[in-house]
Amino acid sequence: MNNKSKKIAAACLALAMVASVGAADVAGVLPVVNTVTASVESSNKLADGEYYVNVTDYGNFDMTNTVNGSKFSKYAKLKVENGKYYATLTYPKAISNNFVLFEKAKNERYSETSSSPGYAKGLLPEGYDVDNCPFSKSIKRKIADKYNDMFEKVDCTFNDDNTMQITVELDPDNSSVFFNGLYTFSNDAGKLYGSSFSDYVYFDVKKCLHNS
């Protein structure tokens, strides 16, 4: 084998190694989906279309503590339309709780969620009686009109298989979302209780799969 042939063989081997690593990375993102191929725009902005993105649920604003047993699915469907990003996320488990409030911090107000904000009173069901609701006093004190401009309501779609889906608009430059909410549940004796939840969820739009 001459020097030219050796160089060609070495280049082919290097390309094969790169392809092998790329395939391993993609395989760890999603379950096997035949219609999906890797695609990321060089400008870090995605072209209009449909994608899948990894989702990570964190318990803090700094995103250093992941949530064990997250209620969210591991990936979301991402639709890019006219440069805007819309992510659809699924609760994979049956929903037995009754949501009183499911809200999301507005994208431009996300940075303010580091100080444990309260709940937008204006997003509660019309006529909801806060004084006589089953929530603790500490939660009731955090339900206030001053948060009305900070949050927007999250609409929930319940499916026949007892899963629930939500769709939210993401900021392409900061695809982290703060979810906040209140829900009620009953014990075996039928007594009603109230509780709350909050999640910092990161949608990895920089590494995604294109649904071709």
Mean pLDDT of the chain: 80
Residues 113 and 76 in one domain: yes
pLDDT of residue 93: 63
Residues 125 and 144 in one domain: yes
Residues 25 and 101 in one domain: no
| pTM metric for this prediction | 0.75
Instruction: Kindly report, residue by residue over 7-20, the tens digit of the pLDDT.
Output: 434 433 333 333 33
Overall domain count for the chain: 2
Residue 57 sits in which domain range? 36-211
pLDDT of residue 193: 93
Residues 21 and 116 in one domain: no
Residues 6 and 55 in one domain: no
Residues 18 and 56 in one domain: no
User: What CATH number did the domain enclosing 172 receive?
Assistant: 2.60.40.1850
Residues 3 and 49 in one domain: no
Instruction: Tell me the C-alpha distance between 164 and 175, whole Å.
Output: 21
Residues 88 and 138 in one domain: yes
Instruction: Kindly report, residue by residue over 83-102, the tens digit of the pLDDT.
Output: 999 999 988 665 556 889 99
3-state helix/strand/coil string of 164-201: EEEEEEEECCECEEEEEEEEEEECCCCCEEEEEEEEEE
Percentage of residues in the chain with pLDDT exceeding 70? Answer: 75
Instruction: Kindly report, residue by residue over 130-149, the tens digit of the pLDDT.
Output: 999 999 999 999 999 999 99
Residues 110 and 136 in one domain: yes
